[in-house]
Structure 1
Amino acid sequence: MWKKIRRLFIIKTKFEAFLITYALATGAVARGQAYMVQYPGWGGKLLFLAATGAVFMAGAKMIEAIELHRTYGNDY
């Protein structure tokens, strides 16, 4: 039973990684918009870019990890 529950938290395909990246990006854009309202000017824009940029880096790492996992096997 624990293996079935554990499976819910393991990203196995690129499609799953893209879905998670989309969800993170949606939240980051909402957070970035709040930053732009709270900090008008360059400060808000820089915080917006930082919030969305972090999502792109996380998405790239997830996709890279899936590729490495496929290459080197299922040992985890």
Structure 2
Amino acid sequence: MFAVKTKFEAFLVIYALATGAVERGFGYVHRLPGASGWLMFAACTGVVFIAGGKILDAVERDEHDRDAGLDML
């Protein structure tokens, strides 16, 4: 495993999550007919927005802590 320390790394992780979510979402669209498949697609891709926000917040908080000298704790 690795630690995400920069925003660039965070965006790479978010891109990978989004790519996987879209692939899984299309699988649901093909397996489930009608609106239920598209609802699952939206759920898969919507989670990326939540996770991406949390990842970016964590990176910004870590950068702030490092700049303030709080990473020693």
Q: Common fold, TM-score beyond 0.5?
A: yes
Aligned-pair CA distance for 1:71: 1.6
Gaps of 5+ in 2: none
Gaps of 5+ in 1: 1-7
Quick check: 1:12 aligned with 2:40? no
TM-score (norm 2): 0.86
TM-score (norm 1): 0.83
Distance 1:28 1:10, change over 3 A: same
Match of 1:33 among 26, 29, 48: 26
Q: What CA RMSD, in Å, does the superposition of the two structures yield over aligned residues?
A: 1.4
Provide the aligned length of Structure 1 versus Structure 2.
Answer: 69
Identity score, percent: 51
